[in-house]
Chain A
Amino acid sequence: MKLENFFADHHKYLCSQWTEAIIKTYPEEGGKFFSSTSSQFSNPVGHTFRSNIERIVLAVAKGTDVAACTQDLDEILRIRAVQGFSPAVALGFIPALRNIVSQHIIEKCPAETHVALLGDLNILVDQLVLLGFDLYMQCRELLWRQKANQLYSRTHKLLERANLLQGEEAAE
């Protein structure tokens, strides 16, 4: 059995467990709300977690390259990157997939398939972690760039007001 087949056969279970792993990082009341099935507009965080995780799991089940999961992972991490988590906690749900899937493999698959499946799982999770790390950093860098631009713009305006800029600098 291939890892993608395992994901296809067990995608419902994997989706619910993986979503729960994210939700558990929030306080109880917040987690309850994110778990609720309210609409994508009244509960954008919960909706994004559920629907994007499902898409990622289905992408793996189809044997698609991990890079195809970029947008789905990005939308999850874009939320996690501004929720006051440390980087480890923000990204922690990705390696959590390893525990969820490996335990399920051990429960559901014959022992002789474990080594190959767990080996492939390690590669998959590592790829997702590295992709997630890049995406998380892009989010944080954008926030820092916005702060820097704000300061730059304020200083530029003051210098402009004081007629201390010349030529191209003034036109920027």
Chain B
Amino acid sequence: MSDLLRPEALFASIDYNPPKTDWMDVPVEIKPGRYCYAANPDSVNYLGLPHAHKWNPLEDDWGLPENWQEIIFNGIRERLHKYRSFKIFMDICVRCGACADKCHYFIGSGDPKNMPVLRAELLRSVYRGEFTTFGKIFGRFAGGRKLTSEVLKEWWYYFFQCSECRRCSVFCPYGIDTAEITIMGRELLNLLGLNIDWIATPVANCYRTGNHLGIQPHAFFDMLDFFCDDIEDITGIRPEPSFNKKGADILFITPSGDVFADPGTYTCMGYLILFEYLKREYGLDVTWSTYASEGGNFGFFTSHETMKRLNSKMYMEAERLGAKWILGGECGHMWRVIHQYMDTLNGPDFQAAHMETPVNPITGTVFKNAASTKMVHIAEFTADLIKNGKLNLNKKRNANVHLTWHDSCNPARGMGLLDEPRYVIKHVVDKFTEMPQGTIREQTFCCGGGAGLNAGENDELRMMGGLPRANAVKYVHEKYGVNMLGCVCAIDRAVLPNSMEYWVPEVDVCGLHELVGNALVFPGEQERETDLRGEDLPGEDG
């Protein structure tokens, strides 16, 4: 007993403060709550991606092939040659620090390696040390270092702590898109079979059955049928959606999260109500595909090649059905893929094979912005219908909602979809309050779970990363009484409910078309008693 320290001596001997060392000397510590489980080798194999193997991030031996360094070097060399952006981003950063405090994961955690500049430096330092003459000669003095297994683990840990939201790129005076560096980092890791399972298995599912959740065609149909039952109970009107209809004018594709997970399901009911209304009123001919049943593209979080494979199925299905163009649902990264990668991935010939520049058959509006991609976002489509007076909307049905708007990263920064949702909101909700400047529009904060980081096991990372967004929601909740956070992204709808429950429990989450579905009035419709969630509607006076 006499050897034991007294409590005050013990307390005094504990130093909770982290050591002051150069970032290159801080060894990576893989912490539970911040990392996702390793990819299931069956999923990696299914996609034919290299070096599928079983491994555990917490073990020392990651089962790497003997020539793993050579594989990475060849991978870097190939990509430097292939992607001019990658080459430029490796060379031009002056480490001004403008991006340093813009990442939601850094803002929430204080971990310096979550500063975009330092995350990029993890890869850039190896590029300097192994590929540039200056770096080879002067090594660390020139900001270079060698690729070791410790460095590889650091890559894996931090490239899967970036949600590729691109907020940092908005502030970079050189226009460096740090997400592109994460994308390259993940591609390189995939060469060694080092993906995470929350990405690899959805990608394999999507490649096999057409959606990330692996919902088979009959189950996909059943789920939508189930929603039609609910809609009939609430509105007295039963939607009759068409599936895989050859010769339909428009093919509709939305993320499968809308079909399977609350509160996205209510958004999905909103789509069904809107299409039924447009069919009855104007003869709109929209079909759903049970094969190309995923708007999202987790291939984007794996490699360019995998992204292309998943993306092309939408076009092959549109061609098979003979649709004129594709209407896309409320998704996030789907739209970044479409607007920023697809033309060079597939080529305009592939997209234009049997499709036309999208025209709204009801209003005659030509969506010239989609002339090349042939895909229109449903927020643009609905805003156009409202602008042309084609929808009968009753805002009072959303009178219990005081909304604020979360600009989902990819539609906002990746395609400039900022005002269309707000235009729709203005017509379906009375009480709307914006969050403060610096947290919305182009500078919006990520939900914390983008780019495949919404696994159960990395919940702490997501909570830290979700803090800046939740903090702004908390402000408008406390100051103005906001009780609903709207968004146009299926991952947002999956991530934000838990985030809100933790940070601002009085605020719920919804999609745009849930509010449209509530407000839309069919001719001769029975009086609704509940909204799409089955909750009592407020009275006509709110």
Which residues of A121-150 have CB atoms within 8 Å of chain B's CB atoms? 139, 142-143, 146-147, 150
B251 CB contacts on chain A under 8 angstroms: none
Bound CA–CA A33/B100 (angstroms): 9
Known: A38-B101, A44-B468, A146-B459. A25 touches B16 (CB 8 A): yes
Measured CB to CB, the closest approach of chain A to B78, in angstroms, equals 33
Indicate if the CB atoms of B472 and A41 lie closer than 8 Å.
yes
Bound CA–CA A27/B115 (angstroms): 12
How many inter-chain contacts with C-beta < 8 Å in the A-B complex? 99
Indicate if the CB atoms of B16 and A89 lie closer than 8 Å.
yes
B439 CB contacts on chain A under 8 angstroms: 41
Binds B, one of A9-17, A79-87, A105-113: A79-87
Bound CA–CA A134/B26 (angstroms): 34
Bound CA–CA A83/B16 (angstroms): 14
B498 CB contacts on chain A under 8 angstroms: 146
Binary interface encoding of chain B residues 497-515 relative to chain A, with 1 for a CB under 8 A from any of its CBs, else 0 = 0100111000000000000
Indicate if the CB atoms of B33 and A28 lie closer than 8 Å.
no
Q: Is the interface of A mostly helix, strand, loop or mixed?
A: helix
**Central interface residue in B106, B111, B260, by most chain A CB within 10 Å:** B111
Question: How many residues on A have C-beta within 8 angstroms of the other chain's C-beta atoms?
Answer: 36
Q: For the complex, is A34 an interface residue (Cβ under 8 Å from B)?
A: yes
Bound CA–CA A102/B175 (angstroms): 52
Which residues of A5-46 have CB atoms within 8 Å of chain B's CB atoms? 24-31, 33-34, 36, 38-45
Give which listed residue, A26, A40, A45, A95, contacts B18 with CB less than 8 A: A26
Indicate if the CB atoms of B33 and A84 lie closer than 8 Å.
yes
Bound CA–CA A45/B103 (angstroms): 13
Binary interface encoding of chain A residues 78-101 relative to chain B, with 1 for a CB under 8 A from any of its CBs, else 0 = 110011100001001001000000
Bound CA–CA A33/B456 (angstroms): 29
Indicate if the CB atoms of B106 and A30 lie closer than 8 Å.
yes
Measured CB to CB, the closest approach of chain A to B509, in angstroms, equals 14
Q: Is the interface of B mostly helix, strand, loop or mixed?
A: helix
**Central interface residue in B101, B106, B439, by most chain A CB within 10 Å:** B101
Indicate if the CB atoms of B18 and A28 lie closer than 8 Å.
yes
Q: For the complex, is B424 an interface residue (Cβ under 8 Å from A)?
A: no
Bound CA–CA A146/B501 (angstroms): 9
Which residues of B199-257 have CB atoms within 8 Å of chain A's CB atoms? 219, 222
Give which listed residue, A39, A82, A83, contacts B110 with CB less than 8 A: A83
Known: A83-B460, A89-B16. A42 touches B11 (CB 8 A): no
Bound CA–CA A41/B445 (angstroms): 10
Measured CB to CB, the closest approach of chain B to A62, in angstroms, equals 22
Indicate if the CB atoms of A143 and B456 lie closer than 8 Å.
no
Give which listed residue, A26, A31, A36, A143, contacts B502 with CB less than 8 A: A143
Indicate if the CB atoms of B464 and A33 lie closer than 8 Å.
no
Bound CA–CA A44/B501 (angstroms): 18
Measured CB to CB, the closest approach of chain B to A41, in angstroms, equals 5
Q: For the complex, is B322 an interface residue (Cβ under 8 Å from A)?
A: no
**Central interface residue in B100, B439, B471, B475, by most chain A CB within 10 Å:** B471
Give which listed residue, B110, B115, B459, B467, contacts A31 with CB less than 8 A: B110
**Nearest CB in chain A to that of B260: its residue:** A157
Give which listed residue, B17, B115, B456, B502, contacts A29 with CB less than 8 A: B115
Q: For the complex, is B438 an interface residue (Cβ under 8 Å from A)?
A: yes
Measured CB to CB, the closest approach of chain B to A71, in angstroms, equals 11
Measured CB to CB, the closest approach of chain B to A47, in angstroms, equals 8
**Central interface residue in B110, B439, B459, B467, by most chain A CB within 10 Å:** B110
Give which listed residue, A29, A39, A83, A95, contacts B464 with CB less than 8 A: A83
Measured CB to CB, the closest approach of chain A to B220, in angstroms, equals 12
Bound CA–CA A83/B31 (angstroms): 10
A31 CB contacts on chain B under 8 angstroms: 110
Bound CA–CA A10/B157 (angstroms): 44
Q: For the complex, is B79 an interface residue (Cβ under 8 Å from A)?
A: no
Which residues of B466-504 have CB atoms within 8 Å of chain A's CB atoms? 467-468, 471-472, 475, 498, 501-503
Binary interface encoding of chain B residues 421-438 relative to chain A, with 1 for a CB under 8 A from any of its CBs, else 0 = 000000000000000101
B338 CB contacts on chain A under 8 angstroms: none
Known: A29-B115, A95-B11. A147 touches B456 (CB 8 A): yes
Which residues of B26-55 have CB atoms within 8 Å of chain A's CB atoms? 26, 31, 33-34
**Nearest CB in chain A to that of B101: its residue:** A33
Measured CB to CB, the closest approach of chain B to A31, in angstroms, equals 7
**Nearest CB in chain B to that of A36: its residue:** B101
Indicate if the CB atoms of A78 and B503 lie closer than 8 Å.
yes
Give me 13 other A-B pairs in contact (C-beta within 8 A), A41-B472, A43-B101, A84-B34 excluded. Answer: A27-B18, A27-B26, A30-B111, A42-B468, A43-B107, A44-B107, A82-B464, A84-B33, A84-B109, A84-B460, A143-B459, A151-B456, A161-B219
- Chain B residues near A (Cβ < 8 Å): 11, 16-18, 20, 26, 31, 33-34, 100-101, 106-112, 115, 219, 222, 260, 436, 438-439, 456, 459-460, 463-464, 467-468, 471-472, 475, 498, 501-503
- Chain A residues near B (Cβ < 8 Å): 24-31, 33-34, 36, 38-45, 78-79, 82-84, 89, 92, 95, 139, 142-143, 146-147, 150-151, 157, 161
14 contacts between A and B (CB under 8 A): A25-B18, A27-B111, A28-B20, A29-B110, A39-B438, A41-B436, A42-B101, A44-B108, A44-B468, A82-B33, A82-B463, A84-B460, A89-B16, A139-B502
